[in-house]
Structure 1
């Protein structure tokens, strides 16, 4: 089934089974994934080396998208869910052992994914604009998937949740891993295209096309809010 004609892969180009964006507030949860300083806050380097300067230039388009599109849309979605008393949840990467020995292999590999973020490290906290409130659940994981690395599936089922709206970073890594795990656990998943982000637009589009219509339905913030009854 398709709900729009965007990010339609080879597998679904000739699919004529169309549906609507429908959200049941009683059984739907929001999951904001890894919107932490370590991933979405620009590093401040007083006197950067040439290599650091070039790296900053490569990543600027990502941080601009985060600041101008992804964070504002997450704020809109959080406000809509909270106003309706709907389930709001977060996932974040943080290791429980200070030496990181509890991390999964994917989070101790070389390069970008070599993540050592202790539980109480300030860089591992969710950014203030999107910070959890009251008794909203924060799932702490040492894996990419927020399902494989936590008791999220158990708690969602206990709360009567069968549908999950996903946002966050990075689309092709922890967001994708979580979406796939949720689908495998038979949750219905809505992935919000302008409230998540990969490192580049090219990777973003490719991953959304891979996930859409198989593991989730990719929609945008306006479509989600319209389904919730917002004009």
Structure 2
């Protein structure tokens, strides 16, 4: 398998072809992470706070990238999986109590990760273009990784899943934590770089380069679709 050299680290400089994944479409799950109103919508709390703090010019490119690239590509993946009746899942930050007492300690701490998003709130919902439908799995988490403190890995085992296709935000935090958790469980992971994003796209690129090959294969949306399509 050929990989984009942009995301291939020093460790693999001498490697040209990487072993192909053995993909069984019916055992391949899509996972979209944290593409929620709170983080993506211009009326969400984060966008409003950045505007109020006078730093919107710094953050606007990130929101533009999500609107113009990340979410459309995540939707393209979602449409492909739905059209072929393949399993779909979502990981989202959402607490079960209104007061957030069930959150992990990191989400109760003041600072970047302090989040209070009750499960039924508008903030916690996936953006409209990526709204889950019947029979799609939604995993609530109060951690970065979808695999930590949830039953997600157990669900994958029950369903016989061997490959997970990952998109979402942000690449260097929740996406990276999840990819490592999936890889450590022995799953094949395709991380779809143009269906992910970071506020700092240098961090996005760096994290993908760190994870590539050892934990995941980094691919583009159409590459992921093509890899699955040829096995249908």
The 3 A distance-change label for structure 1 pair 17 and 132 is: same
TM norm structure 2: 0.91
Report how far residue 96 of structure 1 moved. Answer: 1.3
Aligned to 2:198: 198
Report how far residue 151 of structure 1 moved. Answer: 0.5
1:6 aligns to 2:6 (yes or no): yes
Partner Cα distance (2:202, 2:6) in 1: 15
CA deviation map 1:48-81 (0-9, x unaligned): 8997263211110101000100111111101111
Partner Cα distance (2:221, 2:50) in 1: 38
1:224 aligns to 2:220 (yes or no): no
CA deviation map 1:81-108 (0-9, x unaligned): 1111111000111111222222112222
Aligned to 1:69: 69
CA deviation map 1:7-56 (0-9, x unaligned): 111222223452346532111100011110011112479xx899726321
Aligned to 1:127: 127
CA deviation map 1:89-129 (0-9, x unaligned): 00111111222222112222322211111111111111111
Q: Which structure 1 segments of 5+ residues have no match? A: none
1:3–1:21 CA contact under 8 A, matched in 2: no
Q: Which structure 2 segments of 5+ residues have no match? A: none
Aligned to 2:147: 147
Provide the aligned length of Structure 1 versus Structure 2: 228
The 3 A distance-change label for structure 1 pair 4 and 22 is: farther
Aligned to 2:94: 94
1:3–1:19 CA contact under 8 A, matched in 2: no
